[in-house]
Amino acid sequence: MAERSVPDKHAVRRSFERAARTYDRNSVLQCEVGIRLMKHLDPIRIEPERIVDLGCGTGAFFEPLRDRFPRAGVIGIDIAHPMLRLAARRQSWLKRLVGAGPRLVCADAERLPLATASVPLVFSNLALQWTRPEAVFAEAARVISTGGLFMFSTFGPDTLK
């Protein structure tokens, strides 16, 4: 079996930096998969005080996550600064002014700048294919608190063939 090649991180970052401006209007598949992933949260019976949206992009799932878990603070993590700038604009100017919106962090999913056992829920929609999944799973296991959950979607090996 051939070893899976992982895209170069710098190339991935540059690609998402260039795509940020038009990402939302071209991300139909990502939105549909994310909506379906959100539905899988319906039977989940945890009430996290903190949620990480890993690979948050432009923040399309911040509001649905807050609607589902109204007491939770959201931390959006993405590798591309321009994506995070767009994610910040999803918040009203008042929420931005008082710091009530999601905290946004530019970071690599393989090396999360979060404390061990500090997050009850990590949500990640179609970001794993840009990483070494074993590294992301190890980081998720490190940062998720006892009884927490890593809810993710990714493409299978034959997707889009």
Helix (H, G, I), strand (E, B) or coil at 118: coil
Domains of the chain are 9-153 (3.40.50.150)
Higher pLDDT, 150 or 3: 150
Token pair in block for residue 3: 């070893």
- Digit-coded pLDDT (tens) for 95-142: 666 666 899 999 999 999 999 999 999 999 999 999 999 999 999 999
Q: Is the pLDDT of residue 1 over 50?
A: no
Radius of gyration of the chain (CA): 15
Residue type (1 letter), 74: V
Q: What percent of the chain has pLDDT over 90?
A: 83
- Digit-coded pLDDT (tens) for 130-161: 999 999 999 999 999 999 999 999 988 777 65
Asked if 46 and 148 touch (Cβ cutoff 8 Å), the reply is yes
Measured CA to CA, the distance from residue 93 to residue 55 in angstroms comes to 23
Q: What is the mean pLDDT of the chain?
A: 92
Residue type (1 letter), 126: L
